[in-house]
Copies of this chain bind each other. A is one copy, B any other.
Amino acid sequence: MWKKWLTKRSEDYSAWYNELVEKADLAQPSEVRGCMVIKPYGFAIWENIKNNLDQMFKNTWHSNAYFPLLIPKSYLSKEADHVEWFAKECAVVTHHRLMNNPDGTWVVVDPTAKLEEELIIRPTSETVIWRTYKDRIQSHRDLPLLINQWANVVRWEMRTRVFLRTAEFLRQEWHTAHATKEEAIDESKQMLEVYDDLMQNFLAIYGVRWHKSESERFAGADDTLTIEAMMQDGKALQSCTSHFLGQNFAKAFDVTFKNKENQDELVWATSWGMSTRIMGALIMSHSDDEWLVLPPAIAPLHVVIVPISKSEDDLNQITEYLVPLFEELESMSLDISSSFMDANIPVTYKIDDDDHKSPWWKFAEYEVKWVPLRIAVGLRDMESWVLEITRRDTWIKELIKMEDAWKHISWILSDMQTGLLEKSRSRTNENTISANSRDEFISWIDESKFVLAHRDGTEETEELIKQETKATIRCIPLDSQLEQGKCIKTWNPSERRVLFAKAY
- Which of A's residues lie within 8 Å of B, judged by CB? 28, 30-32, 35-40, 43-44, 47, 63-73, 76-77, 83, 87-99, 106-107, 109, 118-121, 128, 131-132, 147, 151-152, 154, 156, 168, 170
Q: Chain B residue with minimal CB distance to A67?
A: B37
Chain B residues within an 8 Å CB radius of A31:
72, 131
Chain B residues within an 8 Å CB radius of A93:
91-94, 121
Chain B residues within an 8 Å CB radius of A96:
89-92, 156
Chain B residues within an 8 Å CB radius of A147:
40
- Bound: A68/B168 CA distance, A: 7
A411 CB, nearest partner CB in chain B, Å: 29
Chain B residues within an 8 Å CB radius of A47:
64
What are 15 inter-chain pairs, A to B, with CB distance below 8 A? A31-B72, A35-B70, A37-B67, A38-B66, A40-B147, A69-B121, A69-B152, A87-B97, A89-B97, A90-B98, A91-B119, A92-B94, A92-B98, A93-B93, A94-B95
Chain B residues within an 8 Å CB radius of A38:
65-66
Chain B residues within an 8 Å CB radius of A131:
30-31
- Bound: A66/B43 CA distance, A: 7
- Bound: A156/B276 CA distance, A: 29
Chain B residues within an 8 Å CB radius of A89:
96-97
Cross-chain contact B65 with A39 (CB below 8 angstroms): yes
Chain B residues within an 8 Å CB radius of A119:
32, 91
- Bound: A156/B39 CA distance, A: 29
A277 CB, nearest partner CB in chain B, Å: 14
Chain B residues within an 8 Å CB radius of A43:
63-66
Nearest first, the 6 A-B pairs at minimum CB distance are: A40-B63, A35-B68, A87-B98, A38-B66, A92-B95, A96-B156
Chain B residues within an 8 Å CB radius of A106:
77
- Bound: A151/B43 CA distance, A: 13
Cross-chain contact A92 with B109 (CB below 8 angstroms): yes
Cross-chain contact B94 with A109 (CB below 8 angstroms): yes
Cross-chain contact B154 with A152 (CB below 8 angstroms): no
Q: Which of B44, B99, B132, B152 contacts A152 (CB 8 A)?
A: B152
Chain B residues within an 8 Å CB radius of A152:
69, 151-152
Chain B residues within an 8 Å CB radius of A36:
68
A179 CB, nearest partner CB in chain B, Å: 16
Chain B residues within an 8 Å CB radius of A120:
98
Q: A76-B107, A87-B107 are in contact. List 11 more A-B contacts (CB 8 A).
A: A30-B67, A37-B68, A68-B168, A69-B152, A73-B98, A77-B107, A90-B98, A93-B94, A93-B121, A98-B120, A121-B121
Q: Chain B residue with minimal CB distance to A129?
A: B37
A21 CB, nearest partner CB in chain B, Å: 14
Chain B residues within an 8 Å CB radius of A107:
73, 76-77, 83, 87
Chain B residues within an 8 Å CB radius of A95:
91-92, 94
- Bound: A30/B68 CA distance, A: 8
Chain B residues within an 8 Å CB radius of A91:
70, 93, 95-96, 119
Cross-chain contact B154 with A69 (CB below 8 angstroms): yes
- Bound: A88/B94 CA distance, A: 15
- Bound: A128/B36 CA distance, A: 11
Chain B residues within an 8 Å CB radius of A151:
152
Greatest chain B CB density within 10 A among A47, A107, A118 is at A107
Q: Which of B63, B64, B69, B88 contacts A168 (CB 8 A)?
A: B69
- Bound: A154/B95 CA distance, A: 13
A31 CB, nearest partner CB in chain B, Å: 7
Cross-chain contact A156 with B97 (CB below 8 angstroms): yes
- Bound: A217/B28 CA distance, A: 33
A258 CB, nearest partner CB in chain B, Å: 15
- Bound: A219/B44 CA distance, A: 31
A458 CB, nearest partner CB in chain B, Å: 26
- Bound: A92/B91 CA distance, A: 10
Chain B residues within an 8 Å CB radius of A28:
132
- Bound: A90/B110 CA distance, A: 11
Chain B residues within an 8 Å CB radius of A76:
98, 107
- Bound: A83/B67 CA distance, A: 28
Cross-chain contact B128 with A68 (CB below 8 angstroms): no
Cross-chain contact B30 with A44 (CB below 8 angstroms): no
Q: Which of B40, B67, B71 contacts A64 (CB 8 A)?
A: B40
Cross-chain contact B32 with A72 (CB below 8 angstroms): yes
- Bound: A168/B67 CA distance, A: 10
Q: Which of B32, B73, B90, B97 contacts A92 (CB 8 A)?
A: B97
Chain B residues within an 8 Å CB radius of A66:
37-38, 43, 170
Chain B residues within an 8 Å CB radius of A94:
92-95, 109
